[in-house]
Structure 1
Amino acid sequence: MDFLSDDMRRDPYPFYAQAREHFPVLHEPGADLWLLFDYDSVKRALNDHEAFSNIVETSSGQTPDWLVFSDPPRHSKLRAIVMRAFTPKSIASLEPRVRELSHELLAPALERGELDLVADFAAPLPVMVIAEMIGIPIADRRRFLAWSDVIMLLSYTLSGGDAAARAVEQHARVKEEMRLYLRELAAERRKAPKDDLLTRLVEAEVDGERLTEDELLGFFQLLLSAGTETTTNLISNAILSFLEHPEQLARLRAEPGLLPSAIEEVLRYRTPVQLAFRKTKRDVELNGQQVPEGKLVLPLLGSANRDATKFRDAESFDITRDPNPHIAFGHGIHFCLGASLSRLEGRVALTHLLETLKDFRRTSDAPWVPRKALHVLGPASLPLRFEPVRRAAAGA
């Protein structure tokens, strides 16, 4: 099987179903890595920190020095810092601004009756939100988006070869651009603090010490990638799912209160981030297979979320699904710290799209092209045509 082919990345689920039935724990000898397909194995790899480490290496070297690739106790200290910006109160306070940005992005498309859902809306919205949270000037948004694209290409280190070498080289160059940019911005915050995440990071201390420049840069890169890509794919995958299941869309339009449940089902059915990275700390037995110590392990979240032993009618898209114990945002101490923000952005964006776009459909029947990052599920582009909903003027 070519795991990197466009066909596989558009729809890996038939293969996942075969794997769960016949080889739920699979050794891939070429890259010497282990793939986990069933729900229980995936959840254990995410949660068992005695057996699995987040400090991993690929054929192209060690992963970036980010929070997500760290273990306790360092992980606990660093996560506590950034969690100060992701409290329920602070996330809820963002809703009016997310709504404003959504309207700002969608307004030009309403005149045309068409848009590229990804380029015009789903990709820039979360980038604009996270940029404002950090404290990035509006004028630098385009650069911010370009950096995010380069960071996501680090997933090619899994494949090895020329693609991996290019991704590492490109990231090294962009990393220095980001370092210089962040150094200047951090210096400004030390002189004149603001009510933003960058100020909180600059002023934060771990065991009485301020964060180093490398730790600041690690936070910056993580927020730039993880803080945007999941939401982009959540929005795009929701619209794809509604297009493929018009009866579910009709039910949602009739019962808008089902939107939170629909979002959870999109996260399960078309999981935005398909896999995680772990390394075995010791020999581990999973499904009768012995995974040796020191091996790269890929828990496949997308496969786990279609496991029929955990989900009734697992291959069906059901916006009323309850219970829905999906693990699209991970599990345990590395549970995605931006999950509540992603859900908020998804709810605001989809509410706006469904209220504003009537009879939306794809402009072409050609298969959509997957996004560049290998570990995510979603389209790189999704051109749509629609009938804009015309609202009566106030007092008419």
Structure 2
Amino acid sequence: MTEFADRWGFAPDKFWLRGERPENPVEWREELQRWEVYGYPEVNEALSNNDGYSADSGKLFNFDEETAKYFDGDLAQMTGVEHANIRKQAAQAFDPKFIARLESRVRDLSNEYADTLEKFAKFNLLSDFVDHVAGIVFSELLGIPAEDRTMFKLVDQNMDQEAQMTQVGEGTEDGYFEQLTKPLQPLREMLGTHVDAKTKDPKDDLISLLSQVTKVDGSLMTRDQIINFIIGILGAGHLATPLLVGNTMLCLESFPEQYALVKSDYSLIPGMIEESMRFLTPGAASYRATLQDVELGGKQIPKDSLLRVYLGAANRDPRQFTDPDNYDVTRSPNAHLGFGRGAHYCMGGQMVRVETRVVFEVLFTRFPKLRVDPAIPPLFFNSPDFTGVRSGGLHVRID
């Protein structure tokens, strides 16, 4: 299965894309002072068992006050009753009415951008098309001007860094936490301006909703907490769609019989999306901290240990998936972990699914000869925690 990975030039650390299986589903990495979790049942356990594992992996590090303020309110790091409380209130923004409006809006925007691109033989699928559609939709969800979406690229750029979380030394590798936070300051300032305005004069949008969310103690979320919440869901609610579209195009190009199948029957597009999330998982890895001594994959892991859970590798586990290295848009069941599992299952998952489905319905209809440009190799994010084409990194032809 090295043909797929080698054809597109995926980094060696994405070993599962080459059909490689670790000897054990759980291993200790001495040089990084963390546990690596590769297997499907083991990753599922770490994501789902809230008694043994915490999403707040930052709890293992001694942040200074300045660094800590960048994580307070981030839904991905929140746990327990407060997490469930805030998540339940924020989820109101993604109700069925919003999803219905979303589908119509994405279709209109997709056709609008297709109109501007149909005169060209080739274009960049992400920076010329999908980034605009997803960015405008997410801006409207937040209730901010569409032109402010340019700031979202700062999160995109953060995903292009090679740093990863480790307990070595001071708990960082190449300034992991500093690299995650400081480059986002201009985005924080932009969002802060809108948070201030929406707090004073609420509208029908997500920022206004967050400004009225009450914590368990009855107090409102702070300004920093709202900003961190928004930045935290930016990847899941906006950047995930371009990643998924780009990854899907690489899959379709590599499996032409599947491409022909889905283009002949659009009802297979939802299954295509799920299979892309499994086969070429955008969020390749996540982190957990143990809350107590646990046994996982036959290994005894002490309390307060750092785990890196490999969602991408778990989604290729033959114990869970038949013929896991084959891309099959008709795969059923397909209980992949691409959107996570348990209490931290991606809140914007349905939004990403709808956006991606409609984008491909429009692309397949408007550009029936759509294909990856063989003359220009795709460009991928450098982050070991993500697998996917970065903005500006996927050129296609429609002639």
Give the TM-score taking structure 2 as reference length: 0.87
Query: Is the aligned partner of 1:376 residue 2:379?
Result: no
Number of residue pairs the alignment of both structures matches? 378
In the alignment, which residue of structure 2 is the partner of 1:113? 121
One-letter identity of the residue aligned with 2:91: M
Query: Are the structure 2 counterparts of residues 277 and 23 from structure 1 closer, same or farther at C-alpha, using a change threshold of 3 Å?
Result: same
Query: Are the structure 2 counterparts of residues 359 and 183 from structure 1 closer, same or farther at C-alpha, using a change threshold of 3 Å?
Result: closer
Q: Check whether the contact 2:56–2:79 (CA below 8 A) recurs between aligned residues.
A: yes
Query: Are the structure 2 counterparts of residues 212 and 97 from structure 1 closer, same or farther at C-alpha, using a change threshold of 3 Å?
Result: same
Q: Check whether the contact 1:27–1:33 (CA below 8 A) recurs between aligned residues.
A: yes
What is the alpha-carbon root mean square deviation over aligned residues?
2.5
Give CA deviations for 1:204-231 in whole Å, capped at 9, x if unaligned.
Answer: 2223211111211111211222222221
Of 205-214 and 61-70, deviating more is: 61-70
In the alignment, which residue of structure 2 is the partner of 1:194? 203
Structure 2 gap ranges (5+): 1-8
Q: What is the CA–CA distance in structure 1 between the aligned matches of 2:310 and 2:193, rounded to whole Å?
A: 39
One-letter identity of the residue aligned with 1:8: A
In the alignment, which residue of structure 1 is the partner of 2:153? 146
> Secondary structure in 1 aligned to 2:278?
helix
Give CA deviations for 1:57-82 in whole Å, capped at 9, x if unaligned.
Answer: 38896783311111102211221221
Query: Is the aligned partner of 1:182 residue 2:194?
Result: no
In the alignment, which residue of structure 2 is the partner of 1:41? 42
Q: What is the CA–CA distance in structure 2 between the aligned matches of 1:315 and 1:180, rounded to whole Å?
A: 44
Query: Are the structure 2 counterparts of residues 196 and 95 from structure 1 closer, same or farther at C-alpha, using a change threshold of 3 Å?
Result: same
One-letter identity of the residue aligned with 1:70: M
Q: Check whether the contact 2:40–2:317 (CA below 8 A) recurs between aligned residues.
A: yes
In the alignment, which residue of structure 2 is the partner of 1:3? none
> Secondary structure in 2 aligned to 1:277?
strand
Q: What is the CA–CA distance in structure 2 between the aligned matches of 1:69 and 1:135, rounded to whole Å?
A: 24
The structure 2 residue matched to 1:12, chosen from 8, 15, 18, is 15
In the alignment, which residue of structure 2 is the partner of 1:390? none
Give CA deviations for 1:288-332 in whole Å, capped at 9, x if unaligned.
Answer: 112222111111111111111111211111111111111111111
Q: What is the CA–CA distance in structure 2 between the aligned matches of 1:378 and 1:294, rounded to whole Å?
A: 31
Query: Is the aligned partner of 1:128 residue 2:136?
Result: yes
Q: Check whether the contact 1:134–1:198 (CA below 8 A) recurs between aligned residues.
A: yes
Q: Check whether the contact 1:109–1:115 (CA below 8 A) recurs between aligned residues.
A: yes
Structure 1 gap ranges (5+): 1-5, 388-396
- The structural deviation recorded for 1:56 is 0.9
Q: What is the CA–CA distance in structure 2 between the aligned matches of 1:260 and 1:267, rounded to whole Å?
A: 11
Match runs of 1:133-282 below 5 Å? 133-143=141-151, 145-152=152-159, 156-158=163-165, 165=174, 168-169=177-178, 171-207=180-216, 208-282=218-292
Query: Are the structure 2 counterparts of residues 115 and 128 from structure 1 closer, same or farther at C-alpha, using a change threshold of 3 Å?
Result: same
Query: Is the aligned partner of 1:91 residue 2:99?
Result: yes
Of 240-249 and 93-102, deviating more is: 93-102
Query: Are the structure 2 counterparts of residues 150 and 379 from structure 1 closer, same or farther at C-alpha, using a change threshold of 3 Å?
Result: closer
In the alignment, which residue of structure 1 is the partner of 2:4? none
In the alignment, which residue of structure 2 is the partner of 1:394? none
- The structural deviation recorded for 1:354 is 0.9
Query: Is the aligned partner of 1:304 residue 2:311?
Result: no
Q: What is the CA–CA distance in structure 2 between the aligned matches of 1:327 and 1:268, rounded to whole Å?
A: 7
- The structural deviation recorded for 1:352 is 0.8
Query: Are the structure 2 counterparts of residues 346 and 247 from structure 1 closer, same or farther at C-alpha, using a change threshold of 3 Å?
Result: same
Q: Check whether the contact 2:279–2:325 (CA below 8 A) recurs between aligned residues.
A: yes
Q: What is the CA–CA distance in structure 1 between the aligned matches of 2:62 and 2:270, rounded to whole Å?
A: 40
Query: Is the aligned partner of 1:386 residue 2:398?
Result: yes
